[in-house]
Amino acid sequence: MELIARFEGKATAEITMQLWPIVRNLDLALRLPIMEMIQGSLCDLSPQQYTRFRATVEALVKIDRKISLFEFVVRHHLLMHLDRRFSKRRPAAASYREASQLREEIELLLSAFASVGEMDHTTCLAAYRLALQTVGFGEADASQAEPRVWQMGQLETSLQKLEMSTMEVKKSFLQAAAVLITYDHEINVVEAELFRAFAESLDCPVPSFVAGKTKALQRDSTN
């Protein structure tokens, strides 16, 4: 709260303190819809106000010297969306035209989905391996693949490289991720948030969805 007061002013800190008990008691499934609702209002900030707001968010993320998965989602879903609005930055040049060029990065990002799901080990393995086939990796290799152990810094690096791929590679990856998280016919809150964050970072708009029951996507589904 002291940091918010220093960056945004005492009045904003006081309002934040008033809202905190309400937000804290919200169902976790509402975090993503609320974040998407407030994007429109934040687009009305002046460039100077947004620069300050962004600095405040980044400072709050770094204050405990570690990044949680939800903080990662905020940075890559909310801030990426607003960065494009205010800086009008151009998409990164496409340096990678085949998914095979980013196999290590794609395996790691799909492993993140595998680890935040609520499937049993056998189901998780089947979902992960089907996702690898969906993105275009050979069935023989995928049938022996295991989800990798990952760290937040690796997610950042892998996503940055995937941002430099063609739109076809990005869509193929997101289709694979969708196959993975819907394999058990249910999407949990973290899966939904992470999927939207990845899609926003890759500048690939996807339909809004929330956690809950769903239909599994087949590997031959259209994008």
pLDDT at 2: 96
Residue 75, CA atoms < 13 Å, CB-side half-sphere: 18
pLDDT at 18: 97
pLDDT at 124: 96
Report in angstroms the alpha-carbon separations of 1 from 8, 18, 60, 62, 139. 10, 11, 9, 14, 52
pLDDT at 126: 96
**The two three-digit tokens of residue 140, written as one number:** 């023989």
pLDDT at 100: 94
Residue spans of the domains in the chain: they are 2-87, 99-213
In the chain (223 residues long), the average pLDDT of successive 10-residue segments reads 96 96 92 89 94 95 92 90 81 87 96 95 96 91 90 93 95 96 94 93 78 57 38
- Cβ(126)–Cβ(195) below 8 Å: no
Residue 213 main-chain phi, psi, to 5 deg: -70, 145
For residue 93, the 8-state DSSP code is P
What pTM was computed for the model?
0.87
- Cβ(165)–Cβ(158) below 8 Å: no
